Structure 1
Amino acid sequence: MQRRSFLAGTAALAASTLGASPLAFAQQNKLETKKVAIAVGGKNLFYYLPLTIAEKRGFFKDEGLDVEISDFAGGSQALKAAVGGSADVVSGAFEHTILLQAQHQMFREFVLQGRAPQIVLAISKKAMPNYKSIADLKGKKIGVTAPGSSTSIMASFVLAKAGLKPSDVAFIGVGAGAGAIAALQSGQIDALANLDPVMTKLERAGDIRVISDTRTLADTRSVFGGNMPAGCLYASESFITKNPNTTQALTNAMVRALKWLQGATGTQLIDTVPESYLLGDRALYLAAWEHVKEALSPDGLMPADGPGTALRTLQYDANVKGKPIDMSKTWTNDFVKKALATVKS
């Protein structure tokens, strides 16, 4: 009887852990810390969808992690949370690791969420009916998720290619949801750099004219001249060094989320994300998802030319231009390679 009870218990445990990462249960007793604070700027955006999937599908919990996610108006504010010590990890733009190193702060990307930025720069048809070229944006108000975030970086790069400086426009923080939509529709801003589903909603309403788009790999290469890494998980070098098993567990969960997204149906996606993400229109959300799906990384690996593209993009920034940046210290594929060798979708 004891033997049958033991076998029954073992079978029940196996059933309860079906689909979890094979590394998870070996790691739970080895995690340097189970509680991890993650800062993100605009969690409702597709840019950060893998993070939401890892959270809502229980992949972090399967790794033995107790993850607390704090959502900020933009990536630059999420970054400040990590620098200030209130967050351990940031779900944010890869280029922030470069900006931080330029300020002598060492942060490293360890799992990629997006292989294209998904950022769209568009003008308000109402505010700029006679728009002809990027030069027409001089002196205008451009809405971004938050000043200094990836949306303002993308817009600044597009401006720089046209001979304009960031100081030639006024960047206005409008967030990443309904606030951004309201700001454009009410005339508070003349143009907007934001992401889906916000931009698809405005596009379908006929409110905007897209002038630069990075939602597909082809468009991204056209804008940046190469593969441009986007959303990722990054942390300070000290956190990663002190917590390698915890960092691996985070990576396992994110890789599993990326794999899940590759095969997820629209219904599964809708059933997983919070209702607020849909902006009141499920059909529009799914249409936007189909538009940006290829922008998400299929495996979490940093593309070979990605870091170089990001560094070239930031050369317009006086804080980076001419600075001795060691790109090898801004990213690593080591944790993802281990995850890919063991994690099942």
Structure 2
Amino acid sequence: MKFGKSTKFGAGIIMSLGLILAGCGNADKTASQSDSKGDDKPAATETVKLPKVNIMVGGLEKIIYLPAKLTENLGYFKEEGLEVELTSQASGVNAEQALIAGEVQGVVGFYDHTIDMQAKGKELQAVALFATNPGARLMVTNKAKDQFKTLADLKGKNIGITSPGASSHFLVNYLVSKGGNSTKDYVPLAVGAGPTLIAAMEQGKVDIAWATQPTIALLEQKGIATSFVDLETKEGSQQTLGGTYAAPSLYMNSDYVKKNPEVVQRLANAFVKTLRYMSTHKAEEIADKLPKEFYAGDKELYIKSLESSLSMFTADGKMPDGGPEKVLEILQVFKPELKDTKIDLNKTFTNEFVDKVKK
């Protein structure tokens, strides 16, 4: 069949029109694919980058705060899609001040700071509890141990604490008060922890001081000091304090918790994984996951001190019933003003996030 020029021209138009329509179809398809990809973005970026979290620890090398570095080294922060920077401070009170100043978003320190700061008009909240006793001992130098028979003998003494306003200061105040004296009847001296504490005892600046592991083990190994008050074991702590004392925790500004529930949930996930790991692994296995400098040159001694501390840690990060009440009761012994201040303990902690951690 033959076509004239006009027929060929018409066929050309039809072909061109077909190509244009096909192009439009492809363009629509591409646009629709692009749209669907766009719709998928939130799901794919459930990996939306979360804000960096700076956490200050009241002594990274202290076994009472071991979950902080262990969580990092086990890779649990990364598993949760978190960028976490850990920094160390010799005392929990310095970390607390950094939190209030907005320099960090979280603190690994003692829960009692949340109660103390609420009385001062600052709202802090523990979102995961690591241990149910202080994990510490009041250590007395061997040369002076005969001077200390009961808590009443703390009167008139220089007693080493990490720093003024720290949890060590709170609890030493309580022990002095329990011995029938007032907080004016002794001199609290800031000696820090670890090497500075050991040096203070060796140099005779203090005959008795607050210590945690692994410093306790080092003092005993070197023949410098002996345990006078046991707040490390569950039995010793309950005997001295009369119950469960909620202690090492992750606490944050209450406003931050409200505004960043996703971040807080992922932090809770990471820390609870670590607590579960600690409850199902031996001290040797846990020590292998930590920096060698934590051993202070003696890994065997570190493992021994870790073994003596493991029972203090929770396996679920939950605040136990009666824990906050016991802490408040002890704080009120030497802080009478707390009796006249309305403290809402429910605002000082939450189990909301640890309760949601998958089994």
TM-score by length of 1: 0.87
Q: Does 1:338 align with 2:353?
A: no
Task: State how far apart, in whole Å, the 2-side matches of 1:163 and 1:318 are.
Answer: 15
1:7 maps to which residue?
none
Deviation string, structure 1 residues 203-232 (Cα, Å, up to 9, x no partner): 233322322111122212111111111100
**Per-residue displacement from partner, 1:245-287 (whole Å, max 9, x unpaired)?**
0000110000011011112233322221112211221111111
1:191 is aligned to 2:211: no
Structure-1 residue corresponding to 2:327: 310
State whether residues 121 and 212 of structure 1, in contact with CA within 8 Å, keep that contact through their aligned partners in structure 2: yes
> Contact (CA 8 Å) 1:109, 1:330: kept in 2 or not?
yes
Say which SS state the counterpart of residue 272 (structure 1) adopts: coil
Higher relative contact order (CA 8 A, sep 6+): 1
Larger helix share, 1 or 2? 2
| One-letter identity of the residue aligned with 1:253 | A
SS at match of 2:356: helix
1:141 aligns with 2:191: no
Residue 39 of structure 1 aligns to a residue in which SS? strand
Matching residue within 190, 209, 228 for 2:226: 209
Superposed CA deviations along residues 162-221 of structure 1, whole A, max 9, x for unmatched, are: 122223222222222222112112212121111011012212333223221111222121
Report what 1:281 is aligned to.
Answer: 298
Report how far residue 290 of structure 1 moved.
1.3
Unaligned runs of 5+ in 1: 1-24
User: Which residue number in structure 2 is paired with residue 242 of structure 1?
Assistant: 259
Is the CA contact 1:91–1:233 (under 8 Å) kept in the aligned structure 2?
Answer: yes
Determine the structure 2 residue equivalent to 1:5: none
Residue 98 of structure 1 pairs with residue 119 of structure 2: no
Q: Structure 1 residues 254-263 or 124-133, which shifts more?
A: 124-133
CA contact (8 A) 1:314 1:321 kept: no
Cα distance in structure 2, aligned partners of 1:132 and 1:28 = 60
Residue of structure 1 in register with 2:18 after alignment? none
Alpha carbons 2:324, 2:345 under 8 Å: kept: yes
- Alignment root-mean-square deviation, CA: 1.8
Q: Distance in 1 between matches of 2:59 and 2:45?
A: 30
Secondary structure of the structure 2 residue equivalent to 1:310: helix
Shift in Å, 1:319: 4.5
Residues 272, 169 of structure 1: CA spacing in aligned structure 2 closer, same or farther, 3 A cutoff? Answer: same
**3-state DSSP of counterpart to 1:103:** coil
- TM-superposition CA deviations, 1:287-319 (whole Å, max 9, x none): 111111110111111100101100101011245
Deviation of residue 26 (structure 1)?
A: 8.9
1:139–1:168 Cα contact (<8 Å) kept: yes
Closer/same/farther in 2, CA of residues 318 and 299 from structure 1, 3 Å limit? same
Q: Output one character per residue of 1:42-96: Cα deviation in whole Å (capped at 9) or x when no partner.
A: 1111110111111111111111111111211111111010011101111110000
CA-CA distance at 1:130 after TM superposition: 2.9
1:295 aligned residue: 312
Q: Compared with structure 1, are the counterparts of its residues 224 and 26 closer, same or farther at alpha carbon in structure 2 (3 Å cutoff)?
A: farther
Change (3 A) 1:116 1:27: farther
Which residue type is aligned with residue 156 of structure 1? N
Corresponding position of 2:346: 328
- Higher Rg: 2
Aligned to 1:86: 103
Worse-superposed segment, 92-101 or 218-227: 218-227
Classify the secondary structure of the residue corresponding to 2:338: coil
Alignment-mate amino acid for residue 322 of structure 1: D
Q: Is the 1:27–1:249 Cα contact (8 Å) retained in structure 2?
A: no
**Structure 2: runs of 5+ lacking an equivalent:** 1-42
Q: C-alpha separation between the residues in 1 aligned to 2:241 and 2:53?
A: 34
| TM-score (normalised: structure 2) | 0.84
Distance 1:331 1:186 in 2: 41
Q: Note if contact 2:131-2:314 (Cα within 8 Å) is conserved in structure 1.
A: yes
Contact 1:30 1:245 in 2 (8 A): no
- For these two proteins, the number of residue pairs brought into alignment is 316
C-alpha contact 2:174 2:330 (8 A) present in aligned 1: yes
Question: What is the Cα deviation at residue 320 of structure 1?
Answer: 2.2
Match of 2:76 among 56, 59, 65: 59
Q: Distance in 1 between matches of 2:302 and 2:88?
A: 20
- Aligned pair in 2 of structure 1 residues 28, 317: CA closer, same or farther (>3 Å)? farther
